[in-house]
Amino acid sequence: MSNLKDLDPSLTDYIFFEEYISKPHNYTLNGFMFTLLGLYDWKALNDKYKFDKEKVAEEYFESGVESLAKVLPYYDIDGFSAYDLGHLTFDVRPHIGIGYHGVHIYLLHVLHELTGVRELQVFENIWRYSVE
């Protein structure tokens, strides 16, 4: 787990679950969203079996969704989703892959269905209609 300070110091309080370790952070989008789904599953198991008295999964899931809603505009490249934010943290060309773009749209749809967070649906729609 890291935070978003490599994008801007004002984002230090927003958490991010990295798929790859790098310095500075590259903020891979699909890995982050898959981690959020894993945290959601962990939270659901805890709701049923009460093994996590601290409710760590719930806290991380909610904080992670808040981070996702905040950081999504950084991934938008003229209606397509960037694979990661290396173009901002490493100053390289954006990595855009149509396969990953589809995965991002699908994961945003699922996460919006689970949370109702409006920003997730907004970017799902922006990115979905960019390929139609």
The predicted pLDDT at position 47 comes to: 83
pLDDT (0 to 100) of residue 80:
96
For range 37-46, the mean pLDDT: 94
Is the predicted pLDDT of residue 127 greater than 70, yes or no?
Answer: yes
Averaged pLDDT, 101-123: 98
**What is the pLDDT of the chain when averaged over all its residues?**
95
- Is the pLDDT assigned to residue 52 strictly greater than 80? no
What's the predicted TM-score (pTM) here?
0.94
| Mean pLDDT across 98-124 | 97
DSSP letters, 1-70, are -EESTTT-GGGTTSEE--SS--SS----HHHHHHHHHHHHHHHHHHHHH---TT-HHHHHHHHHHHHHHH
pLDDT digits (tens, 9 = 90+) for 14-40: 999 999 999 999 999 999 999 999 999
Confidence of residue 130 (pLDDT cuts 50, 70, 90): confident
